[in-house]
Amino acid sequence: MELFWQIVYYAFTALYVYAALVVLTAILLENRNPVKTLGWIMIMVLFPIVGIVLYIFLGQDLRRKKIIGNKLRFPNLNVSMRYSDEPERFAKVANLLSETDGAQVSGGNNVEVFTTGADAFKSLYNDIEGAKEHIHVEFYIIENDKLGNRFRELLERKAREGVRVRVIYDYLGGWKLPIAWRMSLKEAGAFIHPFLAADNFFKFTLLNYRNHRKLVVVDGKVAYTGGMNLAERYRWGNRLGLWRDTFVRVEGPAVHSMQYSFLVDWSFVDGRVVTDKKYYPELSYFENGERVQVVTSGPDSDWRNIMQGVVAAISRAEKEILIHTPYYMPPEPVMNALETAALSGVRVRVMIPERNDSKIVAAAGRSYIESLLRAGVEVYYYQHNFLHSKAIVIDGYLSIVGTANMDNRSYEQNFEIAAFVYGEKTAQRLVEGFETDMESSRQLNVNLWHHRKWYKRYAESLARLFSPLL
């Protein structure tokens, strides 16, 4: 018997050594950012067996393997969209996004900004109430709560009226959504699908790649996007209080681009490509409207579209950069761009929440703050409830509002969407919101920050090692 267990022990050891060598070789051959590579190696060293499992399910760079990209290929609809010339000041940014994502600049759009869930959902409910043809809904999280159920009931009523209702929710973000919730929608005549459901081993290995988009399109004429999910925390709050977020309502030619984004995702989850041009009706053109460029990113793209757009925009700044982000764990290009802008004389203000919904993410994020402060960036802790807004304003003209956080997960692993708005109206509204939020914020001091407790610094640095997983 003792001999048997010795054989088992040596066999297991040999198998583990082989698996570890294979995984370590794969990590090295991916030629990632050295920091990320070292992060995964540290995880392998600190947690030998668990590290291998985590890498298999969470660490593989499937963007390069084209596993998802091949699935999400979508035919060109040849839909006539009303495009606009690139804005002179940020023409390089617009050209970049056109090259990487195929995102076109459309002029004549009316953009409305919402900074509270009460206002955003009131407007959204009104537009859905008026829907005649179709309602397309896509959220990372749909909760089975007061707000989520009210939204479901509204969709069910419209579906019974003959409106075509399609709903996409992320499988992981919506894992708590009861079967009864979904069946109720289906029985009313609506269609609902999870995104990348982990219903077999292969799909389970894709669990790290999530659809973080929030998008609603009504009749192909009006669309919404931003940071809000379908959850009552945005309307009535939770343990962190009322969540502060940003949502935009778009009317005009840019809605075609947002519709296209939804239908690409729908073709993936439903298996059928929707090409009917009734989903792309003639749209109003607002003479004093703004240029909008709708940008998507995710592991189905060869490029990190939104991140590259953000870096390019920051690099073009001459006067001021304002940033809202709930999580600050930026890839090196973003961090370098912000610090370079500040060191060159651009006023850079970054606002993050003092209280966070994830302790380890918050700890990892704090490890990046000192570098910002030393570069002259003004960093503010939002103290009133929880800041979940994802918004950037450059020189009071270029606004970036969408679903992407300023972290590796959003820029490299998640499916995201963002509206690049070129115009002073939207920028001014966002600036006003930022200035209001400053009244509920405190500015961090570089000397005080540097001299905080050693064990806090240690914990933050340790959390940072796990940033590939966060």
In a domain, 442, yes or no: yes
Q: Are both 151 and 274 inside the same structural domain?
A: yes
For the segment 37-68, what is each residue's pLDDT rounded down to a tens digit? Answer: 666 666 666 666 666 566 655 555 655 555 45
**Per-residue confidence at 451, pLDDT binned at 50, 70, 90?**
confident
Q: 350, exposed or middle or buried, with CB in 10 Å at 0-12, 13-18, 19+?
A: buried
For the segment 412-446, what is each residue's pLDDT rounded down to a tens digit? Answer: 889 999 999 999 999 999 999 999 999 999 999 98
**Which position has the higher pLDDT, 196 or 71?**
196
Range of the domain at 136: 80-85+112-286
> Which residues face 422 on adjacent strands?
291, 398
324 is catalytic: no
302 is catalytic: no
Query: Is the predicted pLDDT of residue 183 greater than 90, yes or no?
Result: yes
In a domain, 96, yes or no: no
Mean pLDDT of the chain: 86
Instruction: Check which CATH number belongs to the domain holding 338 and give it.
Output: 3.30.870.10
Which candidate, 275, 297, 306, 245, places its Cα nearest to that of 119? 245
In a domain, 291, yes or no: no
For the segment 116-158, what is each residue's pLDDT rounded down to a tens digit? Answer: 999 999 999 999 999 999 999 999 999 999 999 999 999 999 9
277 is catalytic: no
Q: Are both 274 and 327 inside the same structural domain?
A: no
Domain stop point among 251, 286, 321: 286
Q: What is the pLDDT of residue 200?
A: 60
What's this model's pTM, rounded to 2 decimal places? 0.86
For 64, phi then psi, to 5°, come to: -70, -30
Q: Are both 132 and 43 inside the same structural domain?
A: no
Q: What is d(CA 64, CA 89) in angstroms, rounded to the nearest whole number? A: 33
Query: Is the predicted pLDDT of residue 278 greater than 70, yes or no?
Result: yes
Q: Are both 243 and 118 inside the same structural domain?
A: yes
Q: Are both 22 and 123 inside the same structural domain?
A: no
Q: Are both 54 and 118 inside the same structural domain?
A: no
**Which position has the higher pLDDT, 37 or 337?**
337
For the segment 68-125, what is each residue's pLDDT rounded down to a tens digit? Answer: 554 444 444 444 455 666 677 899 999 999 999 989 999 999 999 999 999 999 999 9
In a domain, 141, yes or no: yes
Query: Is the predicted pLDDT of residue 400 greater than 80, yes or no?
Result: yes
Ranges 36-40, 237-241, 252-256: which has the least confidence = 36-40
Q: Are both 282 and 319 inside the same structural domain?
A: no
In a domain, 20, yes or no: yes
Q: Are both 10 and 151 inside the same structural domain?
A: no
Q: Are both 318 and 261 inside the same structural domain?
A: no
Whole-number percent of the chain with pLDDT over 70: 79
212 is catalytic: yes
In a domain, 73, yes or no: no
Q: Are both 398 and 462 inside the same structural domain?
A: yes
Q: Are both 401 and 334 inside the same structural domain?
A: yes
Q: Are both 450 and 330 inside the same structural domain?
A: yes
Catalytic residue among 134, 158, 256, 388: 388
Domain stop point among 65, 100, 120: 65
Q: What is the pLDDT of residue 7?
A: 65
Domain tally, the chain: 3
390 is catalytic: yes
In a domain, 70, yes or no: no
Domain stop point among 220, 254, 286: 286
Q: What is the pLDDT of residue 17?
A: 62
Which candidate, 335, 193, 361, 185, places its Cα nearest to that of 274? 193
Q: What is the pLDDT of residue 209?
A: 82
Q: What is the pLDDT of residue 49?
A: 62
For the segment 220-229, what is each residue's pLDDT rounded down to a tens digit? Answer: 999 999 999 9
Catalytic residue among 219, 245, 300, 407: 219
Q: What is the pLDDT of residue 99?
A: 93
**Per-residue confidence at 6, pLDDT binned at 50, 70, 90?**
low
Q: What is d(CA 404, CA 212) in angstroms, rounded to the nearest whole number? A: 8
Catalytic residue among 36, 212, 221, 324: 212
Catalytic residue among 158, 170, 390, 407: 390
134 is catalytic: no
Q: What is the pLDDT of residue 273?
A: 85
In a domain, 189, yes or no: yes
**Per-residue confidence at 197, pLDDT binned at 50, 70, 90?**
confident
Catalytic residue among 134, 214, 221, 324: 214
Cα Rg of the chain, angstroms: 23
Query: Is the predicted pLDDT of residue 369 greater than 50, yes or no?
Result: yes
Q: What is the pLDDT of residue 275?
A: 81
